[in-house]
Structure 1
Amino acid sequence: MTEQTAQQPPAPAARCPYPFPTADGHHTLTREGGYAEARASGRLLPVTLPHGNPDTGYLAATHDQVKEVLGCPVLTREAANTADTPRLGADLLPELALLAMDGTEHVRMRRQVASTFTPRRARALRETFAAAAHRLIDEMTARGSSGDLIAAYTDPLTALMVSETMGCPVDAATEFYGLADKLTAPCEPDDYARMRKRFEEMCEQLSRPSVQRPTGLLDELANARNGEDKLTAMEVTDLMLTVYAGGARTPSIFMSSSVTTLLERPEQLRLLREQPGLWPGAVEELLRYIPIGLSGGFPRTAVQDVTIAGHLLRAGETVLPSTISANMDPAVFDEPDELDVTRARNPHLAFGHGPHRCPGAFVTKDLAEVALPILFDRLPNLQVATVGHSWQSALIVRAMTELLAQW
């Protein structure tokens, strides 16, 4: 071996495809293999994502790595919202979307939604959620002893949540809910443009200062159009699209996934029925345990060289923080592969961390803490199909198309 050959740098590590492959090509609530090995390496894992530059992406897999990435100011969402960025989905976010900006502009926009999603406001909705949950179950049982739990229960409750937090009629919220869902799924450019136009029209109409509405996000945004941090009509639209397209369906997906998860673990459900006081902690544990997204995070791109977990990321390189993997890290959670509704310490990252932490975390938790106990209390014989679930495809979330149940 010559001296020149001996001094050559080592070959770069091979990149593996991400998301990690599944046996049947469908991403379900079963976490894919690969995360344990990624965590054990202690390094950022070089990966190739479906879209963008295939040679500049890395995966953060441990709890510490993911928190570090999510809190690092030089790893930005704005820099990651480009065609070359390694990412899961083909489409880029609007430039004015909350998840596409950082710094002072992000703070200015996020300030407009902060007062709508406080713990106090979330708690104030609990009685409304409870009344709606009982009404929906009354309607379900009046129609018969079986049906689609998503269409009959979790979707209507989530649409109500949208209505209450927006401060608009339920029928308008239901249309927002449907549009937001479709605008985050792959579709033809003409269809996207048509739905985007309708979304803009509804935002413009409902956020006019002259419109009478209950207190909610629309009221806050109407005031903001004339306030110190004045918003343009386009900023209002993109803010609404970020809040409701990014998270409108998530509570429904989480609740339907929680139902199947608990019914598959009767000993855990028995504990909750015997000790209802465990429900708040159980919701936190379900948030930790259930993988909602394909990865659990959005990519961040370095705007300057930075070291993460001993790995030097060069400016322009991208890291994807996997909260799914972080929430299963045995260095943080005892027996992480087990659902434990009595778990006391639970620093999960289901809602993210840092400046981009999900603004709807409190209202999502409060809805689940109300709706799940009522469902299992009112329907003690509830059962769902254990096989044959149909999963939505081409989304970056894991969602069943229906959840057939008997009660």
Structure 2
Amino acid sequence: MTTAHEVRAYPFSEPDRLELDPMYARLRAEEPLSRVQFPLGEPAWLATRYHDVRTVLADPRFSRAVAKTRDQPRTHPDEHLDDGLVGMDAPDHARLRKLVARAFTGRRVELMRDDTQRIVDGLVDNMLEQGAPFDMVENFAIPLPVTVISEMLGVPEADRPRLRGWSEAMVSTTALPWEEMERNAKELFAYIGTLVAERRRNPTEDLLGALVKTRDEDGDRLSEEELVMHVTGGLLITGTETTASQMPNFLYALLSHRDQWELLCADPSLVPRAVEELVRWIPLNYSAMFARYALEDIEFGDVTVKAGEPVVGSVASANRDPEIFENPDRLDVTREHNPHIGFGHGPHHCLGAQLARMELQTVLTTLVTRFPTLDFADGADGVVWKQGMLVRGPKLLRVTW
């Protein structure tokens, strides 16, 4: 039975560093499925408990594709205009994901580990050469994922600064006018289209070459638009902007919890566990995203989501659910039981999760090994945070050692 629910303005507050709004904890305890109104679009249900969010992400009774036909809940006019794989339902989603996964394998990611270490070592050498104070965002967090994914795709080195600009523009919410964001999107799609055409004329062994080969040889073919769409949204943007934000987020979190940093310095073997804990603990997106629409009436406890109603699941809230995680608000790099959903869940689980893990593990292991005395150059309050972006993260984080 559905009872009357207060419709709350959402997001509940402006992003504040890596703090999670306390309203999520209140809703988990008192109103786990609540009504919210985004700045744009129709009202939606907000799921805040772990099991409910997993249901919204994975249950085939919820559709992401329907959102394209509705005035979907969003924070910005173009926020989910072209979601790529995220915007698809089965069977189209399964078909495209299967073909992409054949080229973007765990083995390919592991083969990049040595190259990633080489890139990280070069950035560390630059740190030592420039000396402290050193900005870990512009001079480390940004160039690393751009270089890694560009090398995987075979993007010419001269074009990589343009990729960074396009990627950042496409995850902006208020930092850029709509017209400029649209222009950046068109330029990026056109550029990837030229690379795809070049790979078809001159086959290569890089990831983009493998994707083109898969597209051209498989009987269940990717369309040209699907290929460009996935390379652009699923690999370039996700593979650069998200990781570029998480690296300084990781540092901010660990240097703000000095005991956790020192644990890693004393025992770098904890790094893989620490990466999982940081992904769980950090609320990367400042609001829930990607509304799913109920295809039939669905019960959540005493609440009925009617067919046709949208639901958004807060991954950040789910990852702090005390029914799943002991002391969920505590950052604990030694945490063993950690079934977080920071990389998503179900059919839309992030294809680039293995790449992100590998990069973040490599960076963190290198930093705790080579810079055990690393600290804020200007104190935690001296960190400058990005504004108007879909993901949280510092835009200036200066360190010393």
- Conserved? CA contact 2:262–2:372, under 8 Å: no
**Aligned-residue offset at 1:152:** 1.2
Instruction: Give the number of the structure whose alpha-carbon radius of gyration is greater.
Output: 1
Are residue 152 (structure 1) and residue 139 (structure 2) matched? yes
Gaps of 5+ in 2: none
Q: Which of 360-369 and 388-397 deviates more?
A: 388-397
How has the CA–CA distance of structure 1 residues 105 and 234 changed in structure 2, closer, same or farther, with 3 Å as cutoff? same
Match in the other structure for 2:311: 319
Q: Which of 242-251 and 260-269 deviates more?
A: 242-251
Q: 2:185 aligns with which of 184, 196, 216?
A: 196
Match in the other structure for 2:395: 401
- Conserved? CA contact 2:2–2:303, under 8 Å: no
Match in the other structure for 1:112: 99
**Aligned-residue offset at 1:297:** 4.2
Q: Aligned partners of 2:287 and 2:150: how far apart in 1?
A: 29
Q: Aligned partners of 1:121 and 1:41: how far apart in 2?
A: 46
**Aligned-residue offset at 1:192:** 3.3
Are residue 213 (structure 1) and residue 200 (structure 2) matched? no
Q: Which of 123-132 and 203-212 deviates more?
A: 203-212
- Conserved? CA contact 1:300–1:318, under 8 Å: yes
Match in the other structure for 2:297: 305
Q: Aligned partners of 1:109 and 1:138: how far apart in 2?
A: 40
What SS is found at the alignment partner of 1:103? coil
Post-superposition, which runs of at least 4 consecutive aligned residues in structure 1 deviate over 4 A? none
Q: 1:343 aligns with which of 299, 318, 335?
A: 335
Q: Which of 360-369 and 372-381 deviates more?
A: 372-381
Q: Deviations over 1:206-261 (max 9, x none)?
A: 11211343321343135414532333332222212221224421112111111111
Match in the other structure for 1:245: 237
How has the CA–CA distance of structure 1 residues 183 and 211 changed in structure 2, closer, same or farther, with 3 Å as cutoff? farther
Q: Deviations over 1:116-143 (max 9, x none)?
A: 4433222221111111111111112112
Q: Aligned partners of 2:107 and 2:50: how far apart in 1?
A: 29
Match in the other structure for 1:41: 30
**Aligned-residue offset at 1:176:** 2.5
Match in the other structure for 1:32: 21
Match in the other structure for 2:261: 269
How has the CA–CA distance of structure 1 residues 49 and 96 changed in structure 2, closer, same or farther, with 3 Å as cutoff? closer
How has the CA–CA distance of structure 1 residues 135 and 366 changed in structure 2, closer, same or farther, with 3 Å as cutoff? same
Q: Deviations over 1:168-190 (max 9, x none)?
A: 33443443232122122243344
Match in the other structure for 2:62: 75
- Conserved? CA contact 2:289–2:313, under 8 Å: yes
* Identity rate, percent: 31
Are residue 292 (structure 1) and residue 284 (structure 2) matched? yes
How has the CA–CA distance of structure 1 residues 336 and 211 changed in structure 2, closer, same or farther, with 3 Å as cutoff? same
**Aligned-residue offset at 1:88:** 3.2
Letter of the aligned partner of 1:388 in structure 2?
A: G
Q: Which of 288-297 and 100-109 deviates more?
A: 288-297
TM-score, normalised relative to structure 1: 0.90
Match in the other structure for 1:184: 171
Match in the other structure for 1:99: 86
**Aligned-residue offset at 1:96:** 7.1
- Conserved? CA contact 2:288–2:314, under 8 Å: yes
Are residue 227 (structure 1) and residue 218 (structure 2) matched? yes
Q: Aligned partners of 1:297 and 1:349: how far apart in 2?
A: 14
How has the CA–CA distance of structure 1 residues 119 and 81 changed in structure 2, closer, same or farther, with 3 Å as cutoff? same
Aligned residue-pair number: 394
Are residue 164 (structure 1) and residue 164 (structure 2) matched? no
**Aligned-residue offset at 1:15:** 1.2
**Aligned-residue offset at 1:307:** 1.9
Q: Aligned partners of 1:44 and 1:269: how far apart in 2?
A: 36
Q: Aligned partners of 2:153 and 2:219: how far apart in 1?
A: 21
**Aligned-residue offset at 1:372:** 1.0
Q: 1:376 aligns with which of 368, 382, 388?
A: 368
Match in the other structure for 1:140: 127
How has the CA–CA distance of structure 1 residues 172 and 20 changed in structure 2, closer, same or farther, with 3 Å as cutoff? same
Match in the other structure for 1:66: 53
Gaps of 5+ in 1: 1-8
- Conserved? CA contact 1:94–1:238, under 8 Å: no
What SS is found at the alignment partner of 1:46? strand
